Amino acid sequence: LPEPQSPILPLVVGSEVVSVELSDALRSAGILVPAIRFPTVPRDKARLRITLTAGHRREDVERLLAVIAEAMQRLGIRPG
């Protein structure tokens, strides 16, 4: 993830389909992270909108990252 500049952390995935699949996988795990896609962002710049608050604990962030990593692996998505 990029160095935080605000409570909103965009995770750019590119594909609109992939962003929705990742968002759905997170929702299935009880984590709300919406997919943001065209026309809100340019085509091929779809992203997940991760919002952190002071109420999130380190364990919450670690779980978020683990669920994202597992979903990416299951979907055959390579980071970067």
* pLDDT per position as a tens digit, 32-56: 999 999 999 999 999 999 998 889 9
Closest by alpha carbon to 15, among 40, 39, 45?
45
- What's the confidence (pLDDT) of residue 2? 59
- What's the confidence (pLDDT) of residue 29? 94
What are φ and ψ of residue 51, in 5° steps?
A: -120, 120
Q: E strands, 1-80, where?
A: 8-14, 35-36, 46-51
Decide: 13 and 44 in contact? Cβ < 8 Å: no
Closest by alpha carbon to 11, among 57, 53, 52?
52
Share of the chain above pLDDT 70, in %: 92
- What's the confidence (pLDDT) of residue 76? 84
